[in-house]
Amino acid sequence: QVQLVESGGGLVQAGGSLRLSCAASGRTFSIYAVGWFRQAPGKEREFVAAISWSRGSTTYADSVKGRFTISGDNAKNTVYLQMNSLKPEDTAVYYCAQGTTSGGNPTDSKKGYAYWGQGTQVTVSS
């Protein structure tokens, strides 16, 4: 079955950087779109960024444009989220997810993803 494991979360001061990793089973990254979502206490899970290797495309939420960069490594079947200029409002549990359809677009909708990891905590102090 599909397995997604996030790592790289931690505590960082405002203005700092953090790099998250999403290790997937099989050939998830090369076949399906992979997205990053986040959820803060008391709030709904929201879209952060997504990538499709097969389509050569990426998309970002307006709140992270210019600060976050999503990328992938086919050899390691891993997707990364480089987060720079972090703000306290970025504090949340970050999840990666695999798209529902092979060759699909890097959609910003939760309905476009079939499998989810367990999440990694990111805390940004002020």
User: pLDDT tens-digit profile of 48-82?
Assistant: 999 998 888 999 999 999 999 999 998 899 999 99
pLDDT at 45: 96
Sequence-distant contacts of 54-58: CB under 8 A, at least 24 apart: 54/30, 54/102, 54/103, 55/103, 55/105, 55/106, 57/105, 57/106, 58/106
Q: Which residue ranges of the chain lie beneath pLDDT 70?
A: none
